[in-house]
Chain A
Amino acid sequence: MNYAVITIPDFSLHALRRSEPDLARKPVALIEGEGRKAVLVQVSPEALGVERGLAVSLAMARCPGIVLRTRDLKAETDSHRLLVAAAFTLSPRVEITGPECCTVDLQGANPEQTERAMRQGVADLMRMGLPARPGAAATPLLAHYAACCAEPVLVVRDAREFLHDLPLSFAEPTARQAEVLDGWGIRTLGQLAALPKAEVGQRLGTEGAALWERAAGETTRPLRLTQPTQTFASAWDYEPGIDNIEPLFFKLRRYAECLAFELRSAGFVAESLALTLLLEDETDYWREYQLPEPNTDVEGWLKVMHSQLESLTLPARVVTVRFVAKPTRPLVKQEGLFDTGLRDPHAFWENLAKVSAILGEERVGTPVLEDTWRPDSFTLERPAESVPAPGPAAVHPPQGGVLRRFRPPRPVLVMMENSRPSGISGYASGAVQAAAGPWRASGDWWRPDHWAVETWHVEMETGEIFQLARTAGGWTIEGVVD
């Protein structure tokens, strides 16, 4: 098999039903034309007694509960993107043959792997509400015939046998050709292909020879290749606007699944997500969600967004949503033999995102000290994937108790005696029983925010040991030594 064709029968109808889940299992038909001239063009199997080409009034009489709709071009565009994404899972050489059909060049591909990929693609599209039918054969035309007959996947290995019983209508003869061939008793492609091509050409002309080639499935053509998408974005509207997250998440999930599928088929994962909400008052809300680990896990995406969105209050209703996934290549790395990794990385990053939503992103992480002696200087960074082996022990072992900080430091009045604190008043008051210090430090003198601090440890009558700091702003209690 050199080519595959993926097609979705009744594409417009399935695209519509996919965009409106309420229509599932209801008799639905698409109509074209206006007024009395309107006729049914696509009909769902639930609409019993109704067929294509039927007038609307007749269809309503035969099937009273039938839902009649016109085509939804936005829904068709979304579904078409999924079809194209599925085609790119088979090969990078894809032609968009029509809105409901893609042709794929499989030359050089492993047949078994391709067939598995086709079945997987069918399952993925089916899960998203699109019953695709892929067929594979030696030529694009044969593959198209195969796709039309597929239930759900058909790989043609013997073209002669496959064509033998196919109706002549597959080769699309003109009315005159069909009449002549019917007179000859030719009703299948196999019967026509069994005739000598030259003889058919002599009697039916060049058009007849072309029909014979189509019947034999020998017609081949170069594909008009398309490039895989590099932008992964979806947008949708609400009419009327929405004021809570339930309807937002309902559609967000569906579009997120589509984007994740597109990303996977293009060999990407999402590095970050961006959500833009356009409001009724013509303002907008924009937020980027940095994913803890690049992935295409829709549930994980939604959890990250839900933690933040559920506490969001907007000044007006949401009328339009734009959702963008920033693509990146999947991380491929090998863990160190003795690294202590995460037992459940997804839970770890997801829970960190939840905690960030509660506290704010800047208030959770692993503390990393800054390269300065300035008091209380550190940053919180993203925790390491694995806990590395500890470094060598400090040359000078630490002494004394550990400071427990007051943030912000508590202002206090300090009485001095012989240049040493003798009593304090303010947050804590009383006579100082013993004092140790001063320890002086300063830095960044070349910058506007230069600093200098004098630190003391004082033991109070209550037994508490406070760390006092004298800066240009006065005395403060920085914390308690514990």
Chain B
Amino acid sequence: MPKASSTLAALRSLVAAWNPPDRRACEGVPTGVPAIDSALGGGLPGGQLTELVVAPGSGGQLTLVQLFETTRSARQRVALIDATDAFAPEVVAADLLRHLVWARCHNTEEAFKVADVLVRDGNYAAVVLDLRDAPGSALNRIPKTTWHRLHRITERQPAAVLVLSRYGLVPAVRWRLELPSRFRLSEQRRPRLELITALHAEALRGTFTEEMAG
């Protein structure tokens, strides 16, 4: 009968074989939002999906623009897959978008087709799949196998994949954060950087401390 230690070692090697070897080696991509970066232990993890659940007015678009600014400073490429074609480029200085590839989708189905292509690409530091305001009926029709496929594709690539949603959508996601706070109209005169610093992120699934312990 095999010893318990050898069985455990075999189990570990099996788990290691299942996990892609470069999974933890992929560098994170800082979003520039302190609350999110600290919750994720430095930034969006490369080779993994991260879901950010945001209600309207709670800073989702602010986070997106800050991610663009941070990656622009680092001269990394970013892809935005915009399922509802809602991004407004005029809110950002023109120079801050020169690293961005924006895919303006007509519907959710197209967004997933585009994600399937761009996540595989390998030239992007981050790929953002923005599913906010997509019709619930379309989102509910997404089969789990599609998410599973996206997970598997992401694991093989260095890019960090951020899914923006209105409610928890992504099954088996390692990191799901929520921005619970909401801005008031009276705060719209504050510098954007102050608003970003004031953002609060709650981990709905996975925390950096759990990850470290694991």
User: Which A positions have Cβ atoms within 8 angstroms of B?
Assistant: 340, 342-344, 347-348, 351-352, 354-355, 358-359, 363-369, 375-378, 380, 383-384, 387-391, 394, 397-407, 433-436, 457-459, 463-465, 479-482
Contact = CB atoms under 8 A, between A and B. Distances in A.
A480 B151 CA distance: 31
B90 interface: yes
B-side binding surface: helix, strand, loop or mixed? mixed
Contacts of A347: 120-123
9 contacts: A344-B122, A355-B103, A359-B103, A383-B77, A402-B62, A405-B86, A406-B86, A459-B184, A459-B185
A401 B62 contact: yes
A376 B88 contact: yes
Contact of A436 (B77, B104, B114, B185): B185
A303 B92 CA distance: 34
Interface stretch (B14-22, B94-102, B169-177): B94-102
Q: Which 6 A-B pairs have the closest CB atoms?
A: A400-B188, A482-B61, A367-B89, A459-B185, A402-B61, A340-B75
B57 A463 contact: yes
A390 B95 contact: yes
A433 B185 CA distance: 9
A404 B54 CA distance: 13
Contacts of A458: 185
Contacts of B210: none
A405 B94 contact: no
A359 B59 CA distance: 28
A340 B151 CA distance: 27
B45 to A, nearest CB: 19
B70 to A, nearest CB: 11
Contacts of B106: 359
Nearest to A396: B191
Nearest to A363: B104
Nearest to A403: B88
A383 B101 contact: yes
A403 B90 CA distance: 9
Nearest to A432: B185
Interface of B: 54, 56-62, 64-65, 72-73, 75-77, 85-106, 110, 113-114, 117-118, 120-123, 132, 182-193, 195
Given A359-B106, A387-B99, A390-B73, A479 B88 contact: yes
B88 A387 contact: no
A241 to B, nearest CB: 31
B101 A366 contact: yes
Contacts of A340: 75-76
A407 B85 contact: yes
B108 to A, nearest CB: 13
B26 to A, nearest CB: 14
A481 B57 contact: yes
B185 A387 contact: no
B102 A366 contact: yes
Contact of A387 (B58, B98, B104, B182): B98
A398 B192 contact: yes
A362 to B, nearest CB: 9
B86 A407 contact: yes
Contact of A400 (B72, B88, B101, B192): B192
A458 to B, nearest CB: 8
Given A352-B101, A366-B97, A482-B59, A387 B188 contact: no
B209 to A, nearest CB: 29
| Most A C-beta atoms less than 10 A away, residue of B73, B103, B184, B189 | B103
B62 A368 contact: no
Contacts of A375: 90
Contact of A401 (B57, B89, B90, B97): B57
B46 to A, nearest CB: 13
A367 B97 contact: yes
Contacts of A348: 121, 123
Contacts of B57: 401, 463-465, 480-482
B123 A342 contact: yes
A377 to B, nearest CB: 7
A351 B188 contact: no
Nearest to A393: B93
A51 B131 CA distance: 72
B95 A391 contact: yes
A355 B114 contact: yes
B121 A404 contact: no
Nearest to B121: A351
A399 B192 contact: yes
A171 B56 CA distance: 91
Nearest to A388: B98
B75 A389 contact: yes
Given A401-B57, A401-B62, A479-B88, A368 B94 contact: yes
B102 A380 contact: yes
Nearest to B81: A355
Given A355-B118, A389-B75, A401 B102 contact: no
Contacts of B123: 342-344, 347-348
Nearest to B97: A367
A459 B190 CA distance: 16
B58 to A, nearest CB: 7
| Most B C-beta atoms less than 10 A away, residue of A352, A354, A387 | A387
A384 B94 CA distance: 14
Contact of B104 (A364, A368, A482): A364
B195 to A, nearest CB: 7
A366 B188 contact: no
Contacts of A394: 93
A86 B17 CA distance: 50
B90 A369 contact: yes
Given A343-B122, A406-B86, A465 B185 contact: yes
A401 B59 CA distance: 7
A359 B95 contact: no
Given A351-B121, A388-B75, A482-B56, 8 more contacts: A355-B114, A355-B118, A359-B106, A367-B97, A401-B57, A401-B62, A404-B56, A404-B86
